[in-house]
Amino acid sequence: MASSQITSCALVLLALCSAVQGAIDRHALVARFNPVRTASSTNTPMQVGNGHFAFGADVTGLQTFLPWATMSDWGWKNDSFPPGMSAADLASYRGVVWDGVQYEFGGPEPTQQWLISNPNRVNLGRVGLLFVDGDGGAANVTEEALGGRRQVLDLWTGTITSTFRWEGEEVTVRTVAAQSSSALSLTISSSLLLHGRLGIFLDFPWNDGSQKFEAPFVGVWNATSSHTTSLKTGSGLGRNVHAQVAHTMVENTFFTSISGDDFTIARVSQAAHRYEIKPRSPQGTFSIAIAYSSAHNVASSTPTQIQAESTEAWEDFWSNHGFVDVLTGSTDARAEELQRRIILSQYLLRVNEAGDYPPQESGLVDNGWYGKFHMEMFFWHSAHWALWNNWDLLERASSVYARFLPTAIERAQVQQGYPIATLEKWREVVHATADWMSVFAHKNTSTGFFDLGPPMYVVSEDTNPNVTRNPAFELAYWRFGLDHASTWLTRLGEDVPALWTEVKENLAPLPIENGLYAVYEGIPNDFWDTPTYTNDHPALVGLYGWLPRTANVSTDMAKATAEKVWTSWNISNCWGWDFPMLAMSAARNGETEKAIEWLLHPLFEFDDIGMPVGGVRVPTPYFPGSGALLYAVAMMAEGWDGSEGNAPGFPTRGWAVRTERMSKAI
């Protein structure tokens, strides 16, 4: 009797406790920020995707009025060689030699430009809503002619639902991306279907590497004779596939396979690459799947399977990984916007930046740098996955360090002449990287220290590499890297190579001018007042912030240097991850109010659907800004090695912060 009373008492207490301390209501917080649009944006598309593949939509949920991109981590093509260039030129290409080291740039044209712009990332094609007029022809409809437009992206299931009226009738389009393939499920519901008034059109652009940036749209739609398409229907295609368009550009062919409800498909004219798809039987809904691939015989999922996959994968993403609630219980008015940025960045990074290669600056939205990986910014794009416990997503692209290692070692040893031991996934990568770092640093016989550079390009890329010696941030990062590689090896029970230790212990001291760290040793001492040096990434604030406490960095001097950056740097020229990096430095230095201000700085913008605005320097979207935001938020909310208390990077007044399944930053 007594014991059951105690038990029920305990249950009541437990219930009371969990009402206060219970799990974060993740669904409510995610759904609160479901983006809604009533008109197409000409700057950014609403997207569905899976990290390997993404589809950008206008207000119809398709690419009806605006040719947003359909892009992937596998869709690449080569241009043909320009006049005067052959495969032999490619094989014999060598770049410049600086101080006896050969770098793969600065070689002969036109080979060098071909190498820069190839392979380039392909926009796989366009899918739009086809409006059919009374006599069966294509009707010329503009967005303004559609009434009651409203589009919602349900973040929890990865579903865009777009509704509008045409000719007085309601139309609903549901757009979902597959999670295990590069496919799309489309479901149109409208009484107009009963009268044959709606269908789908496909179109295919020419893609080439003639432009470094292709934004906001990718591909050329009127160069129809530069490429070919052909249609196949009937049997002999992949399982479930009823029709397939093969799209060939030079020597690369991409396949678009259509399955689902019965339809007819026809090419509009031989001169164009446009195909029209119409439901074969009059029903109130029409569902099809459109799958993209580089092989012609792939099985297609059904629209229903794609929808189920999307719901399952997104629910898992939101429910079972890291989560931060800065909103519930906060009284600071900025909490709403910060929570919005967090949720929408999580969605967009999983759509755009979770492929098998490091992402490009603009993810799968548009093309920058010919669609190439943004490898030098991999940390800002992708390190947040670790803190948010999305190891599965981090594993995809981070595996390139092991996959590329053989060619990287060959380049360093054979072409550049650095001695590097070749060893077995991460162990080899860590070992080879630390080997290279310790032979790149060279002993200065007059000082006895190991110097970095010249030549040396620093984070800000705004100093002359030929005179840049011992840059402060890079020295601290070198020390950090060699320290971690040594710890790693020790934990594996192996001996640390003596050279690593010698270099690490004898790296040149960080350059100091007037009690503050300087960008590099020998920089003009009025550099703080010289626009040449104060207009780009302020990496000096990374000395303690982005980096944890490292040997040879005084945290007091690092803090004073960061505060000098606040007043002397041209902050109006900062962009993207600069702001989260400034926030991380402020947070580690105990300046939590300032950390929030940097995270929500007016020049660090996210649009209505959470796309990171490029700002003064780069096109939109600039995803390192989103990745860096999530890294900084994780660090400020969950803490870092050695931090104390709950949410150590947030001000104590006005903010209530709760986390689930997050990891601390180092």
> Which residue in 80, 297, 466, 652 binds ligand NAG (CB under 6 A)?
466
> Which residue in 8, 464, 487, 530 binds ligand NAG (CB under 6 A)?
464
Closest to ligand NAG by CB, 343 or 618: 618
Identity (one letter) of the amino acid at 559? K
Residue 618: CB minimum distance to ligand NAG, A: 12
Closest by CA position to 30, among listed 382, 347, 387: 347
76 binds ligand NAG (CB under 6 A): yes
Closest to ligand NAG by CB, 35 or 75: 75
**From residue 235 to residue 264, what is the string marking binding to ligand NAG with x (rule CB under 6 A)?**
-----------------x------------
Residue 531: CB minimum distance to ligand NAG, A: 4
- The upper half-sphere exposure of residue 489, i.e. CA atoms within 13 Å in the direction of its Cβ, equals 23
Structure tokens at 454: 């010249």
410 binds ligand NAG (CB under 6 A): no
Residue 627 CB neighbour total at 10 angstroms? 26
Residues 6+ apart with CB under 8 A from 375: 358
> Which residue in 37, 52, 77, 174 binds ligand NAG (CB under 6 A)?
77
Structure tokens at 256: 């678009």
The secondary structure of 508-563, three-state, reads CCCCEECCEECCCECCCCCHHHCHHHCCCCCHHHHHHCCCCCCCCCCHHHHHHHHH
Identity (one letter) of the amino acid at 542? G
CB 273 within 8 Å of CB 247: yes
446 binds ligand NAG (CB under 6 A): yes
Residue 138 phi/psi, 5-degree rounding, is -75, 130
What's the CA angle centered on 232, arms 227 and 233, to 5 degrees? Answer: 150
From CA 594, how far away is CA 574, in angstroms rounded? 16
Distances (CA, A) of 387 to 236, 322, 666: 47, 8, 10
78 binds ligand NAG (CB under 6 A): yes
Residues 137 to 156: which contact ligand NAG by CB under 6 A?
Answer: 140, 142
Residue 453: CB minimum distance to ligand NAG, A: 9
92 binds ligand NAG (CB under 6 A): no
Cα torsion at 472, 478, 484, 490 (round to 10°)?
-130
> Which residue in 41, 535, 554, 643 binds ligand NAG (CB under 6 A)?
535
Q: Which stretch binds ligand NAG (CB under 6 A): 29-37, 268-276, 302-310, 566-574?
A: 566-574
11 binds ligand NAG (CB under 6 A): no
119 binds ligand NAG (CB under 6 A): yes
| Run of H or E including 478 | helix 472-491
531 binds ligand NAG (CB under 6 A): yes
Q: Which stretch binds ligand NAG (CB under 6 A): 71-79, 272-280, 301-309, 655-663?
A: 71-79
Residues 205 to 234: which contact ligand NAG by CB under 6 A?
Answer: 222-223
Residues 543 to 562: which contact ligand NAG by CB under 6 A?
Answer: 551-552
CB 400 within 8 Å of CB 93: no
Closest to ligand NAG by CB, 517 or 655: 517
The string of DSSP letters for 292-330 reads: EESSS------HHHHHHHHHHHHHHHHHHS-EEE-STT-
Closest to ligand NAG by CB, 195 or 442: 442
From CA 458, how far away is CA 431, in angstroms rounded? 23
80 binds ligand NAG (CB under 6 A): no
Closest to ligand NAG by CB, 86 or 297: 86
From CA 406, how far away is CA 403, in angstroms rounded? 7
> Which residue in 38, 191, 447, 652 binds ligand NAG (CB under 6 A)?
447
Q: Which stretch binds ligand NAG (CB under 6 A): 39-47, 300-308, 320-328, 565-573?
A: 565-573
572 binds ligand NAG (CB under 6 A): yes
Contact residues toward ligand NAG (CB under 6 A) are 76-78, 90, 96, 98, 118-119, 140, 142, 222-223, 252, 444, 446-447, 451, 464, 466, 505, 509, 521, 531, 535, 551-552, 570, 572-573, 616
